[in-house]
Amino acid sequence: MDATSSHQSHAVRPVFCGIIPPHLLDHLSRAESSTLSGRARRTLEHDALQRTRRRLTTVRGLAAPDGARTGSDKPQRTIYDAEHAETLPGTKVRGESDPAGQDASVNRAFAGLGATFELYFKIYGRRSIDDLGLPLDATVHYGREYDNAFWDGERMVFGDGDGELFLDFTTALDVIGHELTHGVTQYTANLEYLGQSGALNESVSDVFGSLIKQYSLKQSADQADWLIGDGLLGPDVDKGTALRSMKAPGTAYDDDVLGKDPQPATMDDYVQTSQDNGGVHINSGIPNHAFYLAATALGGNAWERAGQVWYDVLTGGELAKDAQFEDFAQLTIDAAKARYGDQGAEHEALVKAWSEVGVTNDEGQ
């Protein structure tokens, strides 16, 4: 697969992608506490409006004209402060050459953008989100008690959380990596945000969000916690560790307030629903688990072999926008074969992982 073919010259309609899934917010909107339900409804209404705006806004051609911008070995970061308003981008508070200030949210956002750039560049040779040195912008302190963080097609936006159920969204590096990876997908495969292709879109963001955290912490696949959003849940969540678990989908939380983590680990429990764009945040647990199984079977650093295969598929030009789980699985198996050979541990691990989650069988692979 040729990573240089990843740029697409046509215009796309970017999708609003928030880290807190609608099904969780919908559950909270029906809480007995008027404070909790009101806060969740406001976030849901805000996010629905943002989705509408994104559908009506078309980003100009994704590939910059020749010579218009060249990739850099260094990120170009700018952090803005919304000052609790909902107007973007807000007031500029830190540029690439500026020192750290007193605002921890600003500093964490700046560092998270840098960590994401570093993994993509040092491991996969990718220069920023678009591979052409796209500046990385982020806005912190968005809204009041806003319980989400999102990529809006142009920038990262962080809410402060409510301090009870959710903490400041800049605190979780994998969340930052997850959201910025939606940008990478936007500029490469541009997976449709619906049904299984949408679940793949979410899963790819979870995979690279986790890899960014693992790379930053210098953790092997065996050392990693494989949690998405660890440390994001607030003091009022009694039984929960994170938003999702790639190691054991469906076990991230089981709480009186948040409800039960609905993610399946295998196709036997695939969720048919019209909510959440066909369950994109729910059924993503299946390809998430396949990646975990492959990465831990291979051992070592997950960003190397398993991560390389996922990156090859995402950027190789063969992944269709409406790809289904089986399509993606076959492409990863083919990519492992192309890069490492059909007798290697990588090919075997991919075949076994997708079979274990019920997406494929291991015959004829």
Show which residues are catalytic: 179, 281
Q: Which residue has the tokens 């803005």?
A: 80
Tokens in use for 32?
């007995």
Give CA–CA dist 74/117, Å, rounded.
8
Tokens in use for 322?
């409406």
Among candidates 7, 2, 16, 5, which has minimal Cα distance to 201?
A: 16
Q: Which residue has the tokens 């009186």?
A: 256
- Cα dist. 264→165, 205, 243, 289, 357 in Å? 23, 17, 14, 9, 10
Q: Are 339 and 3 in contact (CB under 8 A)?
A: no
Which 3-state string (H, E, C) describes 32-97? Answer: CCHHHHHHHHHHHHHHHHHHHHHHHCCECCCCCCCCCCCCCCCCCEEEEECCCCCCCCCEEEECCC
Neighbour tally for 36: CB within 10 Å = 18
Tokens in use for 11?
């215009």
Among candidates 17, 19, 25, which has minimal Cα distance to 258?
A: 25
Task: Determine which helix (DSSP H) or strand (DSSP E) holds 254, and give its type and residue range.
Answer: strand 254-255
Query: Angle 345-356/325-340 helices, nearest 10 degrees?
Result: 170
Which 3-state string (H, E, C) describes 190-212? Answer: CCCCCHHHHHHHHHHHHHHHHHH
What sign does the dihedral 174-28-18-169 (CA atoms) show? negative
- Cα dist. 349→290, 292, 305, 332, 343 in Å? 10, 11, 11, 11, 11
Give CA–CA dist 143/361, Å, rounded.
47
